[in-house]
Amino acid sequence: MKKTCRFLIGLTVSTLLPATAMAQKVAYDYSRAENFRSVKTFAFKDIRGSETTTEETTTYDSPFVIERTQKAIASQLEMRGLKQVKDNPDAYVSARRTFKTEQVLYGPSGWGPYGWGWYGWGWGYGGPWYTEDIIKGTLIIDLVDADTGALLWRGLREKTVHEHAKPEKRTEQVYEDVAKIFRKYPWTGPVATSGHDTPTPTDKNDSEGRNH
């Protein structure tokens, strides 16, 4: 898991934490030559290979999360009229997650005599500096042509991972992530309002990126 450093200096912790927790991005791309109305059936294809360290040692990338992710994807595709089959699908669907650690440096509440303090420019009280590791996870969903192996559509979402979330919250988050990714699926027909095993996703504290 890759580690990067990000330095956020001179702001209060109460200001920084919401911004870090809310950082979310959605991106997508697809083949303009493909007629997505002709894609009527799908099956899942496991491309992860051997088990990863996070899959073996964490709850946020466990086999339970992988199973829930596939159910959420199936629900979104079925809501768009596709049918899951075991043999001879029009397209294969794969999902994988990547993780990286960002190290955030938090500064004191005020800059003291050298910058901005609570009462304006000038003297302010300081405090200890400290760092915190923030895990960012990216869910990547691919749809590929079953005959040619060509990539038809890719959607992804990056957001902060909550390592110690309860199973119910983690399940809700999986369905929310998948639902937000599939908002970018190039489907022009009606979308059903319900799917199997679909918790209601929430948009609370969502600030996903709009630049793709």
- On the CB side of 205, CA atoms within 13 Å amount to 10
For residue 1, what pLDDT is reported? Answer: 58
Angstrom distance (rounded) from CA 96 to CA 89? 20
Nearest to 168 by CA among 95, 68, 85, 43: 68
**% the chain with pLDDT above 90:** 43
Residue 148 lies in a domain: yes
Name the domain count of the chain: 1
Identify the residue with better confidence: 23 or 77: 77
Answer yes or no: is pLDDT of 49 > 70. Answer: no
Instruction: Please name the residue that has the structure tokens 């969903």.
Output: 141
Angstrom distance (rounded) from CA 47 to CA 67? 14
Residue 61 lies in a domain: yes
pLDDT per position as a tens digit, 148-173: 999 999 999 999 888 888 989 999 99
Residue 125 lies in a domain: yes
Residue 90 lies in a domain: yes
Answer yes or no: is pLDDT of 20 > 50. Answer: no
Angstrom distance (rounded) from CA 198 to CA 72? 7
pLDDT per position as a tens digit, 101-158: 888 877 665 544 444 444 444 444 556 777 888 889 999 999 999 999 999 999 999 9
Instruction: Reduce the DSSP state of residue 19 to 3 states and report it.
Output: helix
Angstrom distance (rounded) from CA 69 to CA 85? 17
- On the CB side of 178, CA atoms within 13 Å amount to 30
Identify the residue with better confidence: 99 or 2: 99
Name the burial class of residue 98, with classes exposed (0-12), middle (13-18) and buried (19+) by CB atoms within 10 angstroms of its CB. Answer: middle
Q: What is the DSSP letter of 71?
A: H
Banded pLDDT at 47 (limits 50, 70, 90): confident
For residue 18, what pLDDT is reported? Answer: 43
Residue 82 lies in a domain: yes
Average confidence (pLDDT) over 34-39: 91
For residue 133, what pLDDT is reported? Answer: 85
Residue 133 lies in a domain: yes
pTM: 0.70
Residue 85 lies in a domain: yes
For residue 48, what pLDDT is reported? Answer: 63
Instruction: Please name the residue that has the structure tokens 């809501």.
Output: 79
pLDDT per position as a tens digit, 59-78: 888 889 999 999 999 999 99
Hey, which of 8-12, 23-27, 39-43, 120-124 has the most confident mean pLDDT?
39-43
**% the chain with pLDDT above 70:** 65
For residue 140, what pLDDT is reported? Answer: 96
CATH number for the domain spanning 174: value is: 3.30.160.670
Residue 211 lies in a domain: no
145-149 contacts at long range (C-beta below 8 A, 24 or more positions apart): 145/34, 145/90, 145/91, 146/43, 146/88, 146/89, 146/90, 146/91, 146/92
What distance separates the 2 farthest-apart alpha carbons in the chain?
Answer: 71
Q: Show the 3-state SS of 147-170.
A: CCCCEEEEEEEEEECCCCCCHHHH
How much is the mean pLDDT over the chain?
Answer: 76
Ordered DSSP codes for 166-198: -HHHHHHHHHHHHHHHHTTS---S---S--TT-
Banded pLDDT at 51 (limits 50, 70, 90): low
Residue-number span of the structural domain to which 8 is assigned:
2-205
